[in-house]
Structure 1
Amino acid sequence: MRVLLDATAVPADRGGVGRYVDDLVPELVRAGVDLVMAVQRRDVEHYRELVPLATIVAAPGATERRAARLVWEQVGLPALVRSVRPDVLHCPHYTLPLVAGVPVVVTLHDATFFTTPELHLRSKAVFFRAATRMAVRRARTVVVPSRATRDEVVREADADPARFVVAHHGVDHERFHATSPDEQARVRTTLGIGDADYVGFLGTLEPRKNVPALVRAWVRACDGRDAPPALVLAGGRGWDTQIDATIESVPPRLTVRRVGYLPLDDLPGFLGGAQVLAYPSLGEGFGLPVLEAMACGAAVLTTRELSLPEVGGDAVAYCGTDEDSIAHELGELLDDSERRADLARAAVVRAEQFTWAEAARAHVEAYERAVRRA
């Protein structure tokens, strides 16, 4: 089967959709897909190295601007379809051409634009709600990363559940694995916290990640401890306007660090070296940081919102989304090294169930279903 995958929505910093596409496409080729990729010019060499057996086509340079990319999607992408003659067009980030000429598969990553729109920039919430409704009307098959996302989209966008395929994200087990004390110490040095214990967080600092509540809960959980753990926040700065003021209110005896994006090679040591990896999100389409932390043998504390129990199962600890619950459960974990060790062992075992090879098989099923429906 020949599949044209439009990767022009991948941002320069790779971002969530970039991680998804980068991990998926090598497995699609291994699964026997004849893959053609439309990519930004800056990404041509990246994808030629990543998937040497795929055909890489550069989109016009103007498509690096979002508005121009959306225009090209409606005009230039259908022209590319006519040239490439694929069996299926895969649009991996919500939007699709209104007239493609072949069956279209669309990936919808998230339903929180409907369920909790107040946690997003208003312009994004409006745009992605409209894009989601368009996708479920016009795509032959819709790929989602979790059953929770499928159910939310079906309910909120009045979609046909028979048109959905759930393809859980995988984890790169060669990269994300239990690390040695030396590797963890190297990353601690990079973070500038020496040999101190720390509670870690990984993700964009946006409102739905609930980071201000985590900061306040961590302060409370550290109360009365002779050697309180630091709090290390890794990930993009985002647009949560409450974080700066919340961090400024942290008592001076406690250490909180915002370290921004970490190199991929540092993530296993960061995740696996944390006493607790805290991810008190208000809702996720999947929750890849939770899975990656599990694969690294971290004791993870997260919530039961949307897809997160689908990922964590019985191998993580759970809290509510409020400050009181986060503080209580975090304190319990910090006090119980045996439970943390049990969770770490269970997390590694559960994470082995999530592979990009299995995700690719689900995508191939979505492609085949789209062709049959056409």
Structure 2
Amino acid sequence: MPRVLVDAAAVPADRGALIRYVDGLIAALHRAGADLAVVCQRSDAERYGRLAPSARIMPGPVSITNRAARLAWEQTGVPLLARQAGAQVIHAPYYSIPLRSGLPTVVTVHDVTWFTEPERHGTVKASFFRSATRTAVRHAQRVIVPSKATREELVRVLAADPTRIDVAYHGVDQTLFHKPGPDEVRRATERCGLHGRPYVAFLGALEPRKNVPNLIRGFASAVRDLPEPPALVLGGGVHEDDVDAACREVEATVKVVRPGFLRVPDLPGFLGGALVVAFPSRGEGFGLPVLEAMACGAPVLTTHRTSLPEVGGDAVAYTEPDVPAIASALGQLLASPARRQWLGEAGLTRAKEFTWDASAEAHLSSYQRAIE
């Protein structure tokens, strides 16, 4: 196998779905016997050493905790470490790449909503990721995307060469994301202050493309006439102004809980304990929270947009992203325990089709193509 250097130092500080991608991939590459070197933040060195005991762990300087410093160091520091490690290929798992490494480079492009829906991102952030994506697609030997929908969008938006794009679906850690027991549900819901109250769950960044304001309004409409309405729990960080505004609009009897980032060990109890996990996103590169909720036995409501049908298949319920559609679909699920039970069981079965081991094999094939 080729010696691969993975630049895990690029993982953002918010440590959401991307960290689960990088962690899951590195652990699976190790299980596959890959000859692996991992560049990382100093604070992550111990964790990557546990995930991949045979890998060479190469912490970067303390200064790269600053994003601007990391991006500058990526151009010189990562190539230097790659040469020290004797790497044959560099994998950049988060859009940006070193441009003059002297080695074949593989880059992961997670989605293209920076181009298709720039208004749903901050101006500075969208501008940076558009530039990084254009550069990476132009200069990397191979581009890895997490879904066929993302590959099609990349070809459509940037006229990227489809023969240089490899699809590698994400996996789900079945030991971490599993159908929870009552104690796990109780522990997770107590941390959210629910005290046994039924709830609908959302997990993800509270950013515009996740469509959380419409979820809040649709939820409020769906539960308005229920004698004992469930709560809506928004697990995730970054409270957007639009989310605050939507919360102010709903009646005082509608309970919306925002616990912020949830601990990873609490996620199975949080997702698996929900009446419904609602994820009405306007577009995803993959949609890892949908897969993780399915693996926890939760009935899932999502949209037909971009990659989400590739993940959910026939094992989830679908809605359009507007308020009336969300209210109708959510109301129907809340009124049908039998439908929710069927979706939960179907989701458990489908989630087993997505493994990090299969993802690692797809990545290894892409690395080899880059070298060739």
TM-score scaled by length of structure 1: 0.97
* CA drift at 1:136: 1.2
* Structure 1 position 347 matched with structure 2 position 347: yes
* CA drift at 1:127: 1.1
Give structure 1 stretches of 5+ with no counterpart. none
Measured in 2, the distance between the counterparts of 1:62 and 1:188 equals 38
Q: Which runs of structure 2 are paired with 1:266-305 in the superposition (5 Å)? A: 266-305=266-305
* CA drift at 1:44: 1.5
Query: Percent identity between the aligned chains?
Result: 54
**8 A Cα contact 1:211 1:243, kept in partner:** yes
**8 A Cα contact 1:38 1:59, kept in partner:** yes
1:172 corresponds in structure 2 to: 173
> Partner letter of residue 28 of structure 1?
L
The number of aligned residues is 371
1:142 corresponds in structure 2 to: 143
Q: For residue 332 of structure 2, give the secondary structure of its aligned residue in structure 1.
A: helix
Q: For residue 82 of structure 1, give the secondary structure of its aligned residue in structure 2.
A: helix
> Partner letter of residue 61 of structure 1?
V
* CA drift at 1:189: 2.1
Q: For residue 103 of structure 2, give the secondary structure of its aligned residue in structure 1.
A: coil
* CA drift at 1:319: 0.2
* CA drift at 1:16: 3.0
Mark the CA change 1:64 to 1:182 in structure 2 (over 3 Å): closer, same or farther.
closer
* Structure 1 position 56 matched with structure 2 position 57: yes
Measured in 2, the distance between the counterparts of 1:161 and 1:324 equals 38
1:29 corresponds in structure 2 to: 30
1:216 corresponds in structure 2 to: 217
Q: Spell out, residue by residue over 1:52-102, the C-alpha distance to the aligned partner (whole angstroms, 9 max, x if none).
A: 111011111111111111111111222222222211111111111111111
**8 A Cα contact 1:179 1:268, kept in partner:** yes
> Partner letter of residue 77 of structure 1?
V
Q: Spell out, residue by residue over 1:334-356, the C-alpha distance to the aligned partner (whole angstroms, 9 max, x if none).
A: 11111111111100000000000
* CA drift at 1:49: 2.1
Q: For residue 8 of structure 1, give the secondary structure of its aligned residue in structure 2.
A: helix
Q: Spell out, residue by residue over 1:93-126, the C-alpha distance to the aligned partner (whole angstroms, 9 max, x if none).
A: 1111111111110011111111111101111111
* CA drift at 1:11: 2.6
1:124 corresponds in structure 2 to: 125
2:9 corresponds in structure 1 to: 8
1:319 corresponds in structure 2 to: 319
> Partner letter of residue 115 of structure 1?
T
Q: Which runs of structure 2 are paired with 1:37-116 in the superposition (5 Å)? A: 37-116=38-117
> Partner letter of residue 20 of structure 2?
R
> Partner letter of residue 95 of structure 1?
S
1:310 corresponds in structure 2 to: 310
Give structure 2 stretches of 5+ with no counterpart. none
Mark the CA change 1:160 to 1:229 in structure 2 (over 3 Å): closer, same or farther.
same
2:257 corresponds in structure 1 to: 257
1:329 corresponds in structure 2 to: 329
**8 A Cα contact 2:58 2:81, kept in partner:** no
1:153 corresponds in structure 2 to: 154
Q: Which runs of structure 2 are paired with 1:184-199 in the superposition (5 Å)? A: 184-199=185-200
* CA drift at 1:289: 0.5
1:360 corresponds in structure 2 to: 360
Q: Spell out, residue by residue over 1:138-169, the C-alpha distance to the aligned partner (whole angstroms, 9 max, x if none).
A: 11111111111111011111110011111111
Q: Which stretch shifts more, 306-315 or 127-136?
A: 127-136
Q: Which stretch shifts more, 220-229 or 174-183?
A: 174-183
**8 A Cα contact 1:146 1:310, kept in partner:** yes
**8 A Cα contact 1:29 1:54, kept in partner:** yes
Measured in 1, the distance between the counterparts of 2:188 and 2:40 equals 33
**8 A Cα contact 1:82 1:101, kept in partner:** no
**8 A Cα contact 1:132 1:157, kept in partner:** no
TM-score scaled by length of structure 2: 0.97
Measured in 1, the distance between the counterparts of 2:224 and 2:15 equals 38
**8 A Cα contact 1:28 1:360, kept in partner:** yes
Measured in 2, the distance between the counterparts of 1:245 and 1:68 equals 35
Measured in 2, the distance between the counterparts of 1:226 and 1:182 equals 27
Q: For residue 39 of structure 2, give the secondary structure of its aligned residue in structure 1.
A: strand
**8 A Cα contact 2:224 2:254, kept in partner:** no
Q: Which stretch shifts more, 212-221 or 74-83?
A: 74-83
Q: For residue 253 of structure 2, give the secondary structure of its aligned residue in structure 1.
A: coil
Measured in 1, the distance between the counterparts of 2:121 and 2:87 equals 35
**8 A Cα contact 1:81 1:101, kept in partner:** no
> Partner letter of residue 296 of structure 2?
C
Measured in 2, the distance between the counterparts of 1:14 and 1:42 equals 13
